[in-house]
Amino acid sequence: MAALPPVVDSATWRKELDELRAREKAATRELDAIAAQRRRLPMVKMPEYTLVGADGPVRLVDVFDGRSQLIVYNHMWDPDPNAEWQCGGCTSLTSSFTRLDFLDNYDARFVIVTQGPIEAALAYAERVGNKMTWYSTADSPFGADVGAPPGGGFAFNVFLRDGETVYRTWHTSGRGVEQLTYTFALVDVLPYGRQEEWQDSPEGWPQGPAYSGWLDSPDVARLYGPAE
């Protein structure tokens, strides 16, 4: 059996929780300050790009679909045409985004862009139950220009539209992407956390290799894809 946290009386538990809460509140204020700095970032004017969507070629400015703000998740794509599955991390992360209409109230849209050919990308989205809007940058330098080149690279990019002109305002990759999904936030409040060996956990806590608890692409397809 896995180790357990120590058992204490309510007063002791409340005292330690209050000490932790002070750090949590400080972290919240720091995140507010980071968001304020993010709102003050300069931006970079983008050249014109043409992507491909379900209905054919579409200009980047039209991907906004009339909104002024656009979030793009650049989904990794294995160029091997015989590849059965695509990036498990990307597939798992994007599977969490199922209700995005709330962004309409913020004049914003959120889409996936991948290096995969659009027919293959749409088929894969259907297979794993992904309901987001997908675009392909297979015939465009767009992906490579925003940190997601062919054969590798995943990222979040954010854009602002002013009329017919598009600007890039923010970018993150690596562990930065986990801040935009609820999955790790939920797991991190569990007593045993992510159970990955790199994390600082008490002696005896269950731990395994990094990513061992993550859903892989076949898991996502089994859980969220069309019923067989």
| Mean local confidence (pLDDT), 9-23 | 98
Q: Is the pLDDT of residue 19 over 90?
A: yes
pTM of the model as a whole = 0.94
Q: What is the pLDDT at residue 166?
A: 98
| Mean local confidence (pLDDT), 13-42 | 98
> pLDDT band at 206, cuts 50/70/90?
very high
> pLDDT band at 208, cuts 50/70/90?
very high
Q: Is the pLDDT of residue 24 over 80?
A: yes
What burial class does residue 112 get, using C-beta atoms within 10 Å of its C-beta: 0-12 exposed, 13-18 middle, 19+ buried?
buried
| Mean local confidence (pLDDT), 169-191 | 94
Q: Tell me the C-alpha distance between 39 and 67, whole Å.
A: 18
For the chain, give the mean pLDDT: 95
pLDDT tens readout for residues 110-164: 999 999 999 999 999 999 999 999 999 999 999 999 999 998 889 999 999 999 9
Nearest to 124 by CA among 150, 170, 91: 91
Other Cβ atoms within 10 Å of 41 Cβ, number: 12
| Mean local confidence (pLDDT), 172-190 | 93
Q: Is pLDDT larger for residue 207 or for residue 1?
A: 207
> pLDDT band at 1, cuts 50/70/90?
low
Percent of the chain surpassing pLDDT 90: 95
Other Cβ atoms within 10 Å of 104 Cβ, number: 10
Q: What is the pLDDT at residue 169?
A: 98
pLDDT tens readout for residues 54-71: 999 999 999 999 999 999
> pLDDT band at 228, cuts 50/70/90?
low
Q: Are 46 and 60 in contact, with CB atoms under 8 Å apart?
A: yes
Q: Tell me the C-alpha distance between 31 and 19, whole Å.
A: 19
Q: Tell me the C-alpha distance between 50 and 192, whole Å.
A: 46
Q: Are 135 and 51 in contact, with CB atoms under 8 Å apart?
A: yes
Q: What is the pLDDT at residue 152?
A: 80
Nearest to 97 by CA among 132, 133, 63, 54: 132
> pLDDT band at 33, cuts 50/70/90?
very high
